[in-house]
Chains A and B, each alone.
Chain A
Amino acid sequence: MSVLEVQLSAAAAEPIERVDFEALVQTHQDRVYDFCVRMLGDREEALEVAQEIFVSVHQALPTFRFDSKVSTWIYRISKNHCLNRLKYLERRGRGRSDGLDDVPEEALGSADGAPIRPDDALQAEHERAMVQRAIARLEPDARALVALRDIEGLSYEEMVEITQLPLGTVKSRLHRAREKLAEFLVEEVPEGERA
């Protein structure tokens, strides 16, 4: 249990105002936002949905029973919000505002702040865009599994809690999703350059 979870657990019986919600947001917002970007394929949508997710977390916090990790619980809320948003966007004919084909400023610098060679930056950006396009072609549920396991790095046990699916189902659906993804990634490579 993290320090924050201990703090939250101790405060569970107290009014919600006593919980350091700002610290909770700061601890989890990066992962929530990243997950939303993978799911929605659009930074502006992800920003909007990330805010809605934390509003839901704030509302539901008094009922959280600490029978799972806070992060797992937040991912479950995030997954549900993203799936609902995708359904909504599909109903009204999705319009992307800030697609992921744009290069974010951070992509042009390395993680440790050291300058990186333009060729490397371009290659990394090309790969990122290619992966995101392939992920976007997966069904939303499959997309969530790939994002949770291979991007967010969660364990199968956590995925079971988030998806509320049996372990075997999670594993087999993830396997199918990865196979689909592999197909889509092959299609991303021009025909003459395929191995």
Chain B
Amino acid sequence: MEPSKSKHQEVRSMFPALVDDELPMDMVANLRAHLESCAECRSGWARYERAVSLVRRVPREKPPAALTAAILRRIRRRKSLALRREGTLAMAYRVPYGAVLPIVLAAAVGALLFFLLTR
């Protein structure tokens, strides 16, 4: 008798655990027995296992040796830009005490004189 569609789906749902060696031995044995007898599941498993093993053995990409230096340079540039921006803000809002103080003093003396003379 042909295995039902739900049996195929059940078997397929176990492929991830099988490929990751996470199935208990008795389930592995059952699954292998089914794969032996079912051409559809067997070919599905062969494709699945091939895909995973091809991806797993693909060689790692190595970054260029200058990557660390480039990252650190970028971070230093960001920091100095942030400092410069802070400096610009401070300049924009800085009170020029040297120029303002004599004006304030003169205004205060003037106001005092005006008050005394008009009393």
Contacts and interface: CB of A to CB of B under 8 A. Distances in A.
Nearest to B71: A54
A43 B61 contact: yes
Per DSSP, chain B at the interface is helix
A186 interface: yes
Interface string A31-55: 0011001100001001100110011
B48 A179 contact: yes
Interface string A116-133: 000000001001101110
Contacts of A124: 59
B62 interface: yes
A127 B67 contact: no
Interface size for chain A: under 10, 10 to 19, 20 to 34, or 35 or more residues?
Answer: 35 or more
A37 B19 CA distance: 25
B58 A29 contact: no
Interface of B: 12-13, 15-16, 19, 43, 46-48, 50-52, 54-64, 67-68, 70-72, 74-75, 78
5 contacts: A34-B60, A37-B61, A38-B61, A151-B56, A185-B54
Interface of A: 21-22, 25-26, 29-30, 33-34, 37-38, 43, 46-47, 50-51, 54-55, 58, 104, 106-107, 111, 124, 127-128, 130-132, 134-135, 146, 150-151, 171, 174-175, 178-179, 181-183, 185-186, 195
